[in-house]
């Protein structure tokens, strides 16, 4: 059941970009482990929306993540990936332990359908000494899930 919740959350997140998305990235970082986790989140947006590189973005996922692979069809309702932009306004480490971090990113999205600023959630886990995305849970996905589904998805990702 948890696998289904994570897969659903990610799929809904992609589908829920209507009224969202932007182009360049900036954000805060403070050095050390936190900086690395924050940098990974910023690189995720740069790779996905700045470089329009789905293959490289998918490679940023933790090898044990149950999140589905991002595909060009996920972005077609918005005119394709190249029509979406995202600017990371800030990032915050909400929780961090050995090898796992929860990071929230305030992101300004723009698409041909409109623009919005949302707070997206990430769970990052270390793989081979590098921070990798275990879960990307955009604000639009959380709006379509119960608190229990969100909690289960986050806890499952943190256990990777």
Crossing angle for the helix pair 2-15 and 147-158, to the nearest 10 degrees: 110
Percent helix, strand and coil across the chain, each to the nearest 5: 40, 30, 30
Average pLDDT over residues 104-115: 93
Q: Where are the domains of the chain?
A: 2-158
Higher pLDDT, 100 or 24: 100
Average pLDDT over residues 62-70: 92
Give the CATH architecture of domain 2-158.
Roll (3.10)
Helix (H) or strand (E) holding 127: strand 114-127
What gap in Å lies between CA 131 and CA 99, rounded to an integer?
Answer: 8
- Taking a C-beta distance cutoff of 8 angstroms, is the pair 105, 122 a contact? yes
pLDDT in tens, 15-45: 444 434 333 333 443 444 455 999 999 999 9
d(CA 138, CA 135): 10
């Amino acid at each position: 059941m948890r696998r289904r919740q994570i897969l659903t959350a990610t799929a809904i997140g992609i589908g829920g970009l209507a009224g969202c998305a932007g182009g360049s990235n900036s954000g805060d970082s403070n050095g050390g482990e936190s900086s690395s986790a924050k940098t990974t989140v910023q690189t995720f947006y740069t790779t996905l929306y700045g470089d329009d590189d789905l293959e490289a973005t998918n490679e940023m996922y933790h090898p044990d993540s149950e999140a589905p692979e991002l595909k060009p069809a996920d972005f077609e309702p918005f005119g394709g990936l190249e029509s979406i932009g995202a600017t990371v306004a800030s990032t915050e480490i909400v929780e961090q332990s050995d090898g796992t971090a929860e990071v929230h990113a305030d992101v300004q999205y723009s698409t041909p359908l409109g623009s919005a600023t949302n707070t997206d959630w990430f769970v990052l886990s270390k793989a081979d000494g590098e921070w990798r995305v275990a879960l990307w849970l955009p604000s639009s996905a959380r709006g379509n899930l119960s608190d229990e589904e969100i909690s289960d998805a986050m806890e499952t990702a943190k256990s990777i």
